[in-house]
Structure 1
Amino acid sequence: MLGPVLVDGVEVAAPRQRALLAMLVFDAGRIVGHDQLIGGLYADPPAGAANALQSQVSRLRRAVPGLVIEHHPAGYRLVAGPSEVDHLHCAELLAAGRAAQALALWRGPALADVDAPFVQVARQNLTEVLIGCTLSGGTTAQLRDLLAQHPLREDLRAALMRSLHRDGRQGEALEVFAQGRELLAGELGVDPSPALAAAHLEVLRAQAPHRGVPAQLTSFVGRDEDLRRVSKWLRDNRLVTLIGPGGTGKTRLAVEVAHREPGEVAFVDLSATTDVARALLDGLGVREAGLLAAGAVGVEDRLRAALAARDVVLVVDNCEHVIDDAARVLGAVLASCPDVRVLATSREPLGITGETLSPVAALDDDAATRLFLDRAQAVKPGFHADLGVVAEVCRRLDGIALAIELAAARVRTLPLAEIAARLDDRFRLLSKGSRTAAPRHRTLHAVVEWSWELLTDAERDLAARFTVFSGGARLDAVTAVCQSEVDTLTSLADKSLVEVVDDRYRMLDTIRAFCATHAPDLAERHARWFLEQAQRAEPHLRAHDQIAWLSRLAADHDNLVAAVTWATRHKVRLALELVAALATYYWFRGLRTEAAQQAEAVLHACGETPPHGHEQEYALCLLIAWPVATGDQSARIRQADALMDRLVDPPRYPIMTMLWGMALGAPQGDSQVWNRRVRLLGDDPWSAALALAGHGLVARLAGDPAAAADLLAHAAAAFTRIGDRWGAALAFNQLGEIALTRGDAAGALVHIERGRGLLDELGATEDTAEAVIGRAQATLLAGDVDGARTDFRLALTLARRAGALVVQAGAHLGLAELARVTGDYATARQECDQAWERCPGGWYGPDQMRCHIAVERGRVAKAAGDPVLARRHFEDALRRAVGQRDHVTETAVRAELAALLAT
């Protein structure tokens, strides 16, 4: 919207579709009425305008794959969040005080390639947003360009004057005012407003130019919002301290802020001194003699006398190694010199009353990438690279500005791919910096070592121990695993060795890599602590506080993976316990593929027989690992079944019984097999709900949809009562499939959407993708081909992100059915082939999917006029359905074969 209309960088060719898209995007997420759309598209609406609008919507869906446009009785709604729409994202950034980022979204005049009745009002609204962005975060050139378009906007004129003034161009600023005053008088017959007059007075009162601020040899990249914020805070507060780890760019940001200060500025670097007061005197350029009456000879007295009547900004760099003296001296200066302001940089706060802290964090991906490209092109003109690879390099360097600059400098002698490959040994790779830089800033190792040397022994010990965590940890984990004091941890946070976000502590990977060289081996203690957390959490995952406990485990997902990985290599019994304890978490989060890979690795480390005393955990690993299992899968099923059969009481983790039933498939009739499974169900409410769902699934496969629907409805209600969204979603999705087989598209959508909403709460990616496939099938049954295609593609995207091959197969199978329905048999066959290729060997899900693929292949062949091939595919599907005791599919396939014989 903020320029020519684009969708993921692609233009919409048809002008009317482009205008329709713009109207929907302008009100993204809200229903736009039929009349509003027609009136906005047509100056003179044609006869049958409603049908014409419907036709335009259908064409737009085809023109932009993946675009989700919902039809409602009142109109149409584009399904998109604010972060997906540039003008809404722009407004959010502006409201959050990130005007420069908001401004960067603009690519030209709003709706530049749209010509429709609605566009004038829309452009006016968007232009106001642009003006707001430019006023808050625009450059001098941007302000000048916008003022040329809106010469009577006094707020723009005042902002341009102040920007020119900050750049030291007072003459130009005064000229801008004179032009505005003449224009206002000639066009409107008015004098400048008080706001514009105030800007004029500021320029007239301009003081001496900057002094003592180091000139910079490279451009300032990536911290426009920080620059704006710190400049404002320094105007409103007398002490602002930039804090953050070494190399993040605190000094450079302070220098840029200083350059924009209109009055007197002094820059003082404390890194090479232990005498703070004398360094400040030298930085001010003050001679020691003649400042005070005889008898007052102290350096600090001289300093305060020199500053007593001066309006000056002191930029005091690198306070961390003299933090106590810096705090004492600067505190005294601020107390006795009312017109002095201080901008300090440090790796920990000064701790002075009234101090405003401005953390200088890692650069975001966009800023880091721009910095890398800027520095790389400086050493290798014409340098170009895959932006994704550059962003990945910057992420692995934690967005630390110095690390990025050092890496960019290496592109002169190393290909970017080689730089990325060598980042595991980043300190060796990034060992050559500028010869003119301070020694501690010439290499990445020196930057981190400088921080390390400033720590106490207790802080170094904890910093080294902290490296056992992956992705950070909560306070209780740090104190338990590292056996540390809370005060020591908070001290590390104060000194920027660890970051604090919400209730978690995190160490940048670059700092972690350095500290890890000093670390003791705490891996087993780490793994056992997280085993205790998983075991403690598991019962809560099946209750009302499910979401909170899933979120808690999800926050520690990297730690859980690290614990399982280490235990698999070193303590296989511990690994078995971890995988078993985490089974419910992985299943409810829809991370079945990841869980299967972990379980398979543990089984491989164990060998063919379970360790004594861990038979139950071993059996659970067997039941989890089917999606990626290798070798004789039927033998593994029999082994798991035999281990389960030895259990006298219900298993420790109730989900084990569910996985057992899934692996063995549906029992026949009232056989002893079913009774064997039921006896291992516990008497807790969750197991009772699971029993209802199990009975419902068996009834469905046995060809009794009415009984199945009744049982599954009761299961959904039971799971809802105990607070398990996953179990309720399972029941609702099965109810949706029953409705689909009955031809009830509307009923299917109701059930499937209820299930999908619950899965969204869980963040269960694989399961959500499956639910989207169900929604697509219901949409196709309702006759909405475009909507179904959109959902099948969305499901495929979600499944790819999760690495869920079977779900990908289901999405391809849906696209095959859609192609068949529309008569595109070649595409249908290709989609069936892709679905087949994505079915891993041996698990109940892939085998069931192969059966459905065979059915669809038969239907495609039948529709394409090849009854011989169709019969071959249907017979394959029938064999598979019988083997799985899936009477529903068996009945459907027998009907297809009968129809073939009748023709």
Structure 2
Amino acid sequence: MAGVWFGILGPVEVCAADAALVAVGGPRPRALLALLALEAGHVVGTDRLVDGLYGETPPRDTANALQAQISRLRRVLGDGVIESSPAGYRLAVDPEQVDAHRFARLAREGRQALAVGDAEQAVAKLTEGLALWRGPAEIPAAQAARLDELRLSAVEDRAEAELARGGDVSALIAELREFVEGNPLRERLRGLLMRALQASGRQAEALTVFEDARRTLAGELGADPSAELAGTHLAILTAEEVRTTPVPAPLTTFVGRGEELNRVREQLGTARLVTVTGPGGMGKTRLAVQAGTNAPDACFVDLSALTDGSEVPQTVLAVLGLRESGLTPTAHRPPDLLARLTAALRDRSLLLILDNCEHVIAESATLVHRLLTACPSLRVLATSREPLDITGEVLCPLVPLPEGPAVRLFADRAQAVSPGFAVTEAVPRICRALDGLPLAIELAAARLRSLTVDELEARLDDRFRLLSRGSRTAAPRHRTLHAVVSWSWDLLDPREQRALRGLATFAGGATAGAAAEVLSEVDAEELLDDLAGKSLLEAGGGRYRMLDTIREFAARQATEAGEADSFARAHAEHFLDLARTADPHLRDAEQLTWLARLTGEHANLRAALRWAVQADPPLALKLVGALTTYWRLRGVRGEIAPLAVELLQRLDGREPPEDLAEEYVLTVLNALPDPPPGTLDRAREIMRTPRYPPRQPALLVAWAMFTGPPGPDEVLNPIYEAFSESADPWLDALVHFSLSYLKIFTGEHAGAEAEFARSLAGFRAAGDRWGIAQVLDGLAALADRNGDWRRALSLTEEAIAKMTRLGAVEEIAELSCRRADLLLRGGELDAAEAGYRQAEELAQRVGVPATLAMTHHGRGRLAVRLGHHAEARRRFRLALQACGPDWQSLCVRSRVLVWTALLDGDGGRAAYLLGASAAIGDTTHDPGTADRVAQLAGKEPYDKAFARGSAMSRDEALAFVLTA
């Protein structure tokens, strides 16, 4: 039966040569056909067929019954398809006409291609074979199990091939997760999923997959992961968490700087700092991009949007994918961002390209010097109009292009806008008139879309004659590039000039929609495309960016035209609208989408706030209110604090507008650790007077993080009552979350769990991963207090999974440490040590002092458990050194001091410190520690010392722990 197709990888079906499906019949005819198809071309014995059809209850006359079924099939399939023999029956078709046989061949060929390193061929073969599966096969269990095993092996082989091939693995991750859920004990699937997650930059998720595998294998088989899976886990653990930003893909050919390119590459082979210098428009950025295009581990940082040198470390942190804040506040002092960077890059082999350093030269030099001193495998390629003046710096100065390369550059760009362009005698003259400046040459060539070469030359001559009368002492950029940009500006029509003046307000580029709002242009996208075609804007990734030189020129033009403030106001109001629109979505199921959108506009949001602080403080207060949640999730408090301080100073002690009182409090909190005198007292007064319905959900979170838990005798802040009257479901969940901790502090554990349950339901309904993780962490602490450490462990792991989706590495580090604490209390010492090691690695990499102190404290207690007292003391010393002055650090500090007193044999002091820890509101509960202290001190002395410590006021206890 040539052309007929038999399918048994799913419901049995027969497809005729004309593609029509053949009705096979009921279950027994289909089962009989499947048995024959499994051995297509070969005789299948009657006993096997009878057994496959009837199992343990065959009919009395099996021969006639089987013959009857064969006859039915023959009537359906036609003569000659099923042949008889003394031994049984045979399906007389080519095995390639049966999907199972074709699949087996393709799986075998795919595995062979993978073995010889042909990933493309392997993916093609295995994908084709797996596509044949339509569902569970209607065949006996033994044969079905064999085919299912072959299918799983093919899935694994294809995943191996796709990883070897490289590229986007998001679809592969989703597929592997589905197969892991269905085959939780299959370690190769787990390992492939871990590698795919790592390849997509999701290291924390990959580690969570391993922890789940370890628990599953131990629970189901009582076994540890295989050496291969453990090796994959170790490889991921030792991989860097730093996320590099590749150099921008060049949009044009590289012409005219071949000699300088070779020089830079040679210098980078022997020097650790190479700085490309020269005036603006000389092609420094383009040369740096070309030098880094094929360099492994290159990371590109554009500093052009910065207006304040203090923003340099934060910008580099952001490009490397690092944030400065965690799940809870780390300190009431600005973080040392340079220390954070050195910790992240200390062992990293990286080429860091810092572009446009000239306007932040001092801060750039400080950062580069510190990084190079602390990170021996780091190299830096900088571009600047002047050297960084650091020991060991090697310079590559750029000079104007000689005539030959300049003409080639002009011709290359001209041919892009005017196909068939040929160089004439005028071209060298144009290049000479432009002083061989690459940017000027490219702008000139772009105008050939609408001008002839002769017309272009005539206009250049007029323009330069006028501008050449400027001061001879002016900067080269003002003598040359200013002339080029001014000339290009004059070639634009009034509408294009106005658009550039407005676009100069954008600090981080603009989308067409944002530009339309600020410029009040209906067809802004067409206008932007025209400007991009004239090399005045760069288009890519849905955004339009202006070269720094052109942006400077356009901004001055806007000032001279009296439009700068009106454009800046329109810009600030547009981004206030965006922030207000995004804010509620940062607390619902769309938070990842909106967090990414706001991150893409971060430079514009910062520019809007900076302008409003100076020009319109009430508008600035509104921006603070709308952006505080975003800043908390992104971790940029150190960047915002100086602007918050300046805003409060501009208010100069004046009462905030009645309708902006909440925004005023948020501004004070964002100004920590050094808000202007009196502002914190004013904020406390506002928080004691709930005269308004709450409008800013971020306020309760920020205030609670600042104040920590209330003391047992403190009156509940009336702001809680005001917030509890809100109809916002998310806010209702937050109120229940706060009340749960209040009940923990007063010992009402049953009530606390009920409040946690209400809060968790609310956050889950809202889709807020941050809120869910907060509640899960609280429930874990409560379960631990109640002695249910297994539930505490499960809840902590669920919280880690939620934070992993947010990319919150700091929170993952903290929660990983808490998971290790639980494993230690459960007696799983090896797992606890591995967990502490992982948490310590993450904490060191992201630079969170309190979490690092927690890991040292945990490893110290583990050392005590193992009888290694010297190591325990060393770890406790490291923990004290890592602690900051924030409330969370003080809680860790109190625990460390308790254990130090235990090692010293001073039970009375340990009991007093335990009481002080309770007084400051530490929610961590470790009955083992209390039992140790009570056993060492004796019951009566313990009770007295603990009572004295816990009798301190919260402020007294905080001061005591800080200085103990």
In the superposition, the TM-score normalised over structure 2's length comes to 0.49
- Correspondent of 1:854 among 875, 887, 894: 894
1:819/1:624 Cα in 2 relative to 1: closer, same or farther (>3 Å)?
Answer: farther
Question: Does the Cα contact within 8 Å between 2:901 and 2:909 map onto a contact in 1?
Answer: no
Match of 1:55 in 2: none
1:538/1:409 Cα in 2 relative to 1: closer, same or farther (>3 Å)?
Answer: closer
Match of 2:795 in 1: 751
Match of 1:879 in 2: 916
**Deviations, residues 809-847 of structure 1 (Å, cap 9, x unaligned):** 444544544555455555555554554455554xxxx22
1:797/1:667 Cα in 2 relative to 1: closer, same or farther (>3 Å)?
Answer: closer
Match of 1:139 in 2: none
Question: Does the Cα contact within 8 Å between 1:467 and 1:516 map onto a contact in 2?
Answer: yes
Match of 2:805 in 1: 761
- Correspondent of 1:685 among 729, 736, 750: 729
Q: Which runs of 5 or more structure 1 residues have no equivalent in the other structure? A: 1-21, 38-65, 99-212, 224-244, 253-359, 372-385, 399-406, 424-428
1:902 aligns with 2:915: no
Q: How does 1:478-493 map to 2 (within 5 A)?
A: 478-484=515-521, 485-486=523-524, 487-493=526-532
Match of 1:565 in 2: 610
Match of 1:532 in 2: 577
1:361/1:393 Cα in 2 relative to 1: closer, same or farther (>3 Å)?
Answer: closer
Q: Provide the secondary structure at the position in 2 that maps to 1:542.
A: coil
Q: Distance in 1 between matches of 2:884 and 2:506?
A: 33
Match of 1:391 in 2: 352
Match of 1:502 in 2: 541
Q: Distance in 1 between matches of 2:812 and 2:840?
A: 13
Question: Does the Cα contact within 8 Å between 1:430 and 1:444 map onto a contact in 2?
Answer: no
Q: CA deviation at 1:214?
A: 10
Question: Does the Cα contact within 8 Å between 2:860 and 2:876 map onto a contact in 1?
Answer: yes
Match of 1:356 in 2: none
Q: Provide the secondary structure at the position in 1 that maps to 2:815.
A: helix
Q: Provide the secondary structure at the position in 2 that maps to 1:673.
A: coil
1:251/1:867 Cα in 2 relative to 1: closer, same or farther (>3 Å)?
Answer: closer
Q: In the alignment, residue 720 of structure 1 is paired with which amino acid?
A: R
Q: Distance in 1 between matches of 2:755 and 2:879?
A: 32
Q: CA deviation at 1:720?
A: 0.8
- Correspondent of 1:867 among 886, 897, 905: 905
Q: Provide the secondary structure at the position in 1 that maps to 2:571.
A: helix
Q: Distance in 1 between matches of 2:679 and 2:914?
A: 24
Q: How does 1:352-371 map to 2 (within 5 A)?
A: 364=293, 366=295
- Correspondent of 1:583 among 599, 621, 628: 628
Q: CA deviation at 1:583?
A: 1.4
1:606/1:728 Cα in 2 relative to 1: closer, same or farther (>3 Å)?
Answer: same
1:716/1:832 Cα in 2 relative to 1: closer, same or farther (>3 Å)?
Answer: same
Question: Does the Cα contact within 8 Å between 1:733 and 1:751 map onto a contact in 2?
Answer: yes
1:718 aligns with 2:647: no
Q: Provide the secondary structure at the position in 2 that maps to 1:392.
A: strand
1:482/1:67 Cα in 2 relative to 1: closer, same or farther (>3 Å)?
Answer: same
1:445/1:431 Cα in 2 relative to 1: closer, same or farther (>3 Å)?
Answer: farther
Q: Distance in 1 between matches of 2:731 and 2:748?
A: 23
Q: Distance in 1 between matches of 2:715 and 2:261?
A: 77
Match of 1:696 in 2: 740
Q: CA deviation at 1:653?
A: 0.7
Q: CA deviation at 1:731?
A: 0.5
Question: Does the Cα contact within 8 Å between 2:694 and 2:722 map onto a contact in 1?
Answer: no
Q: Distance in 1 between matches of 2:186 and 2:733?
A: 49
Question: Does the Cα contact within 8 Å between 2:856 and 2:879 map onto a contact in 1?
Answer: yes
Question: Does the Cα contact within 8 Å between 1:769 and 1:796 map onto a contact in 2?
Answer: yes
Q: How does 1:230-245 map to 2 (within 5 A)?
A: none
1:549 aligns with 2:589: no
Q: In the alignment, residue 855 of structure 1 is paired with which amino acid?
A: R
Match of 1:342 in 2: none
Q: In the alignment, residue 900 of structure 1 is paired with which amino acid?
A: L
Match of 1:401 in 2: none
Question: Does the Cα contact within 8 Å between 1:815 and 1:828 map onto a contact in 2?
Answer: yes
Match of 1:459 in 2: 496
Q: Distance in 2 between matches of 1:616 and 1:409?
A: 43
Q: In the alignment, residue 806 of structure 2 is paired with which amino acid?
A: L
Q: Provide the secondary structure at the position in 2 that maps to 1:573.
A: helix
Q: Distance in 1 between matches of 2:186 and 2:728?
A: 56
Q: How does 1:208-219 map to 2 (within 5 A)?
A: none
Q: How does 1:664-675 map to 2 (within 5 A)?
A: 664-667=707-710, 673=716
Q: Distance in 2 between matches of 1:888 and 1:663?
A: 19
Q: How does 1:434-449 map to 2 (within 5 A)?
A: 434=402, 437=406, 438-439=431-432, 440=434, 442-443=436-437, 446=440, 449=481
Q: Distance in 2 between matches of 1:691 and 1:250?
A: 51
1:655/1:581 Cα in 2 relative to 1: closer, same or farther (>3 Å)?
Answer: same
Q: Distance in 2 between matches of 1:567 and 1:546?
A: 26
Q: Distance in 1 between matches of 2:395 and 2:557?
A: 21
1:588/1:85 Cα in 2 relative to 1: closer, same or farther (>3 Å)?
Answer: closer
Match of 1:644 in 2: 687
1:35/1:623 Cα in 2 relative to 1: closer, same or farther (>3 Å)?
Answer: closer
Q: Distance in 1 between matches of 2:722 and 2:186?
A: 62
Match of 1:315 in 2: none
Q: Provide the secondary structure at the position in 1 that maps to 2:701.
A: helix
- Correspondent of 1:729 among 760, 765, 773: 773
Q: Which runs of 5 or more structure 2 residues have no equivalent in the other structure? A: 1-159, 167-172, 189-206, 218-224, 250-254, 266-279, 301-346, 360-379, 407-430, 444-480, 940-964
Q: Distance in 2 between matches of 1:475 and 1:410?
A: 30
Q: Distance in 2 between matches of 1:459 and 1:773?
A: 57
1:414/1:433 Cα in 2 relative to 1: closer, same or farther (>3 Å)?
Answer: farther
Question: Does the Cα contact within 8 Å between 1:775 and 1:791 map onto a contact in 2?
Answer: no
Q: Distance in 2 between matches of 1:715 and 1:897?
A: 35
Match of 2:70 in 1: none
Q: CA deviation at 1:639?
A: 3.5
Q: In the alignment, residue 543 of structure 2 is paired with which amino acid?
A: R
Q: Distance in 2 between matches of 1:889 and 1:852?
A: 12
Match of 1:382 in 2: none
Question: Does the Cα contact within 8 Å between 1:651 and 1:657 map onto a contact in 2?
Answer: no
Alignment length (residue pairs): 564
Match of 1:378 in 2: none
Q: CA deviation at 1:556?
A: 0.9
Q: In the alignment, residue 732 of structure 2 is paired with which amino acid?
A: A
In the superposition, the TM-score normalised over structure 1's length comes to 0.52
Q: Distance in 1 between matches of 2:916 and 2:689?
A: 32
1:463/1:721 Cα in 2 relative to 1: closer, same or farther (>3 Å)?
Answer: same
Moved more, 595-604 or 648-657: 595-604
**Deviations, residues 360-404 of structure 1 (Å, cap 9, x unaligned):** 999548389799xxxxxxxxxxxxxx9999733357699xxxxxx
1:789 aligns with 2:839: no
Q: CA deviation at 1:80?
A: 8.7
Q: In the alignment, residue 488 of structure 1 is paired with which amino acid?
A: L
- Correspondent of 2:701 among 644, 655, 658: 658
Q: Distance in 1 between matches of 2:393 and 2:510?
A: 27
Q: How does 1:271-310 map to 2 (within 5 A)?
A: none
Q: Provide the secondary structure at the position in 2 that maps to 1:366.
A: coil
With CA pairs under 8 Å and 6+ residues apart, which has the higher RCO, 1 or 2? 2
Match of 1:316 in 2: none
Match of 1:104 in 2: none
Match of 1:615 in 2: 661
Match of 2:453 in 1: none
**Deviations, residues 427-452 of structure 1 (Å, cap 9, x unaligned):** xx866555764545744664565577
Cα RMSD between the aligned structures?
A: 5.4
1:794/1:509 Cα in 2 relative to 1: closer, same or farther (>3 Å)?
Answer: farther
Q: Provide the secondary structure at the position in 2 that maps to 1:679.
A: helix
